[in-house]
Amino acid sequence: MLLDENRSGDGISAPGGESKISGSPPPNPHGLVVWLMTVLERYTRREIDDDQLMKALQKVGSYAAEAEILPEKLIIALKVAWGQVVPRAGRAARGMDDRLLARLVTACLDGYYE
């Protein structure tokens, strides 16, 4: 999935600025894992800041609710993406600990239940 240079400020925009999460729901949470990995990768490369990351995760949560993906599946998708993008051994070196993961989960669930 190719993303543009953050035209809408949400960290997950497609070319032309339209949101990648406004399309058809994926048949399973795999699509969410891909989006989450992309957002987290952009964050680790410092292409998006904390506010943009939280907004992006709220959009992912909102999309998951619209797609009728259970919140438990959303959290699992986030944890899978987190583990793929930020392996346990590299988290401390990057300043990415469990407190950050808790904030990410909260942002997703805020979007899910808004």
Contacts of 86 (CB under 8 A, 6+ apart): 40, 44, 94, 96
Whether 3 is in a domain gets the answer: no
The DSSP code sequence of 20-83 is TTSSPPPSSTHHHHHHHHHHHHHHHTTSS-HHHHHHHHHHHHHHHHHTT--HHHHHHHHHHHHH
Whether 39 is in a domain gets the answer: yes
Whether 17 is in a domain gets the answer: no
Whether 6 is in a domain gets the answer: no
Total-model pTM: 0.72
What residue numbers bound the domain in which 82 lies?
A: 30-91
Whether 81 is in a domain gets the answer: yes
Domain count, the chain: 1
Average confidence score pLDDT of the chain: 76
Q: What is the per-residue pLDDT for 34?
A: 86
Residue 109 confidence (pLDDT) above 90: yes
In tens, the pLDDT along 61-73 reads 998 898 889 999 9
Please give the average per-residue pLDDT across 92-112, as a whole number: 82
Whether 85 is in a domain gets the answer: yes
Cα separation, 31 vs 37, in Å, equals: 10
Whether 101 is in a domain gets the answer: no
